[in-house]
Chains A and B, each alone.
Chain A
Amino acid sequence: MTQEQVQLIKNNPKYQKLVSTRSKFAWTLTIIMLVVYYAFILFIAFSPETLGTKISPDAMATWGIPIGIAIIVFAFAMTGVYVRRANGEFDGLLNDLKIDIEKEMN
C-alpha cells in the first residue's frame, strides 16, 4: 500500500465509521467479559464460601455450580452476539468501503 492509498482509506468516512463502531463494540464486549470472569475469580480468591453456599437448605448443589455453568453459556452467547453483528453490519460497511476505494483508485 502506498502512502497515498493509506491516506485515501483513512480519510474515507466509511472507514472511520467502521473502525470506531467496531472497536467500541469489541471493547465493550471485552470489558463485560472481563468483569464477569474476574468477579467470579475474585469470589474464588477472597470469598470461596459464597460460592460454596447451598442453593437451598436441603440441596447438595452449591451456588458455584449454576454460576460456573452460566459463565460458560454467557461466554458462548457473547461470541454469538459479536459474530451476528460483525457478519451483518460490519461486513456491510466493509463492502461499501471496498467499492468506494475501488472507484477512487481508478
Chain B
Amino acid sequence: MLGRILSLFMIASITVAFAAGADLGAGTKAEELNVPAIVMFFIFVAATLGITYWASKRTKSANDFYTAGGGITGTQNGTAIAGDYMSAASFLGITGMVYLKGYDGLIFSIGFLVGWPIILFMISEQLRNLGKYTFADVTAYRLKQKPVRILAALGSISVVILYLIAQMVGAGKLIEILFGLDYEFAVVLVGILMILYVAFGGMLATTWVQIIKAVLLLAGTTFMSIMVMAKFGFSFDALFTQATEIHSKGVEIMSPGGLVSDPISAISLGIALMFGTAGLPHILMRFFTVADAKEARKSVFVATGLIGYFYVLTFIMGFGAIVLVLGDPAGTYLAADGVTLKGMNNMAAVWLAHAVGGDYFLGFISAVAFATILAVVSGLTLAGASAISHDLYANAFAKDKVDEKKEMNVSKMATIAIGIAAIFFGIAFEKQNIAFVVALAFTIAASANFPVLFMSIFWKKLTTRGAVLGGYVGLISALVLVILGPVVWTQILGNAEAIVPYKFPAVFSVPMAFIAIWFFSITDSSEDAKRCQEEFDAQDIRCQTGIGSDGAVAH
C-alpha cells in the first residue's frame, strides 16, 4: 500500500517537475532549468523515500513511531541531532547573514552553539532518565497531567510552526530557483512530501535521513570552504580584505554592528539562543531515541563538535560568497536590480557552490540543502504531531479510551494538519530572513518550554499551578512582545511604529516566566501542591540515577 502511494507520488512529482521544465523551455520563466541539480534532487528524494519505505516496515508500535524503538546509538543520535540543528536556517540563513552583515552572522552561530554544553550539564541525562516520548513526560512526571500537558503542547506547537516557517521559506526558494516553479507551488510540494515522510516513516526514517544528510552536508560545506580558501592562498586576511572592498558596508562587516545595535537586543538574543535550544521540542525528543544516560551524553558531545565545525564553515562560506558571488564580475548571481541575489540573500550558499564547483556541485549542494529541509521538517512535524497525539490526545483529553493504534492515527492526522499550517505560513512569511524567524522560535522555546522543564527537574517546591501559570506567562508574553515588535507589527502587518521597540524580547519574557513559576508555586497551599512536593524525591532519584527508567528502553 505504502509502496504504491510512494511510487505514485514519485511519478506525479517527476511529471510536475518536467512539465515545469517544458514551461521553462517556452521562455516564460527567468530561471534556467538546471539538469544536474534536478537529477541529484530526484536521487535524494528517491533515496529518502526508500528509507521511509524501509522504516515504515519497522514502525509498528507507538514507541517505534516516536523514538525509533530507543535503539539509536549515541554517535548516531549525535549526528542526527547535528542534522536537526544544521537546518536550512543554519546552512542557508547563517551563510546568508554572514554574506549580508559579516561578523554579525558569527554572533548567531555562537549563540546557537553555546546552548549545547548547558543542555549536557543540566538537561540531557535527566530527560533520558525521566521521559518517554516528549519533554512533557518530564514536566508532567509529578505534576497534574492535563494542564501541564496542554501547556507543553501549546509551547511545542508554537515553536514547531515558527521553525517550520523558516524551513518552508528556504525550501520554497530553493525549488523556485532550481525548477523555476512558483514559490507558492514549491511550498505546497514540500508540504506534501513532508507529510508523506512523517506519516509513514516515523522517527526511524527521520533519524536515518538526518544522519545521511548531516554527513553529506558536512562533506559539501567542507569542500566549499576549502575551495574558497584555496582561492585566497589559505589566507584569511586576503579573504577578509577582498570582502571589505566588495561589500557595500566596507570594513564594518569585520565587527559587530547593525544586527544587534542596542544592548538590550544583544543580551536578549543571547538569552533566546542559549536557552532556546534547551526548549526545542524536536531536539529534546531526540534524547528519547537512545538507550540510556551515557548514550545521551555521547550524543551531545558528538553533536556539539559537528555543529561547531559546521558553524566555522558557514563563516568562511559567507565571506567567500561576498567575494565570489557578490563580487562576480559578470554579475551572474544578481537579480535584475543588480543588488540582491537571485532568490534573495538566503541563497548565498547555493550560489557560492556554483561559483566554486560549477553546475554539478550546485546540483549537489541544492539537493543536500533540500534533503536538509525535508529531514528537518520531518523532525519538526514529528515533534508537533507527538505533542498533539501523545500529550493532548492520549494524556490530556482521551485518557482512558486510548489504545496505541488510535494514538498513532491521531498523530498521522496531526501531521497532515501541521503540514497544511506550514504551507500557509510558509507563503505568508516569504520575504523574511529565515535565521531571524528561527530566532523567534528560539525566543518562545526559551520563554515557555525551558523554564518549566528546568524547574520541574531541579526545584522541589514546584507545583502544578506554578508550572502552568508560569509557562503561560512565558508563552504569552513572548508571543505578544514578538507580535508588537518591529518585525511582525511593522514589517509584516504594515503598521508604522512598533509598540515594543525590541526584535528579541527574551530578556523580558524568560525572567517573567521564572518569576511567575516561583511566585505561583510558593503561594500554592493546595493538596495537589503538597503531593507534587512530596513526590519530588522519587523523581529526583530516578532523574539522578536512571533507576526505574529502563522500561522506556526494553521494547
Which A5-54 residues sit within 8 Å CB-CB of chain B? Answer: 6, 9-10, 15, 18-19, 22, 26-27, 29-30, 33-34, 37-38, 40-46, 48-49, 51-52, 54
**Chain A: how many interface residues by the 8 Å CB criterion?**
53
Question: CB-CB < 8 A to B294: which residues of A?
Answer: 86-87, 91
> Is B396 an interface position by the 8 A CB rule?
no
Which A61-106 residues sit within 8 Å CB-CB of chain B? Answer: 61-62, 64-65, 68-69, 71-73, 75-76, 78-80, 82-83, 86-87, 91, 94, 97-98, 101
User: A73 vs B305: C-alpha distance in the bound complex, in angstroms?
Assistant: 8
Q: Can you offer 8 A-B residue contacts whose CB atoms are under 8 A?
A: A33-B121, A42-B266, A45-B266, A60-B251, A68-B315, A71-B114, A75-B116, A97-B545
Question: CB-CB < 8 A to B240: which residues of A?
Answer: 60-61
Q: Is the CB of B121 within 8 A of A75?
A: no
Q: Is the CB of B256 within 8 A of A52?
A: yes
Q: Is the CB of B237 within 8 A of A51?
A: no
Q: Is the CB of B266 within 8 A of A72?
A: no
> Is B370 an interface position by the 8 A CB rule?
no
User: A18 vs B300: C-alpha distance in the bound complex, in angstroms?
Assistant: 21
Question: CB-CB < 8 A to A49: which residues of B?
Answer: 255
0/1 interface trace, chain B 226-268, chain A, CB 8 Å (1 if under): 0000000000110011001000000100111100101110110
0/1 interface trace, chain B 109-129, chain A, CB 8 Å (1 if under): 111011011101110010000
Whether A1 touches B542, Cβ cut-off 8 Å, given contacts A60-B237, A79-B120, is yes
Q: Is the CB of B545 within 8 A of A15?
A: yes
From B257, B537, B545, residue with most partner A Cβ within 10 Å: B545
> Is B107 an interface position by the 8 A CB rule?
yes
Question: CB-CB < 8 A to A98: which residues of B?
Answer: 545, 547
Q: Is the CB of B113 within 8 A of A64?
A: no
State the main secondary structure of chain B at its contact with A: helix
User: A55 vs B369: C-alpha distance in the bound complex, in angstroms?
Assistant: 35
Q: Is the CB of B255 within 8 A of A51?
A: yes
User: A81 vs B121: C-alpha distance in the bound complex, in angstroms?
Assistant: 11
Q: Could you list which residues of chain B lie within 8 angstroms of chain A, going by C-beta atoms? A: 103, 106-107, 109-111, 113-114, 116-118, 120-122, 125, 236-237, 240-241, 244, 251, 254-257, 260, 262-264, 266-267, 269-270, 274, 294, 297-298, 300-301, 304-305, 308, 311-312, 315, 537-538, 541-542, 544-548
Question: CB-CB < 8 A to A37: which residues of B?
Answer: 110-111, 114, 270, 274
- Min CB distance, A78 to chain B, in Å? 5
The residue on B at minimum CB distance from A80 is: B301
Contact partner of B538 among A1, A48, A64, A72, CB < 8 A? A1
Whether A60 touches B541, Cβ cut-off 8 Å, given contacts A38-B270, A41-B266, is no
User: A9 vs B270: C-alpha distance in the bound complex, in angstroms?
Assistant: 39
User: A51 vs B120: C-alpha distance in the bound complex, in angstroms?
Assistant: 29
From A42, A71, A75, residue with most partner B Cβ within 10 Å: A75
Contact partner of A62 among B121, B254, B308, B541, CB < 8 A? B254
Question: CB-CB < 8 A to A45: which residues of B?
Answer: 260, 262-264, 266-267
- Min CB distance, A1 to chain B, in Å? 5
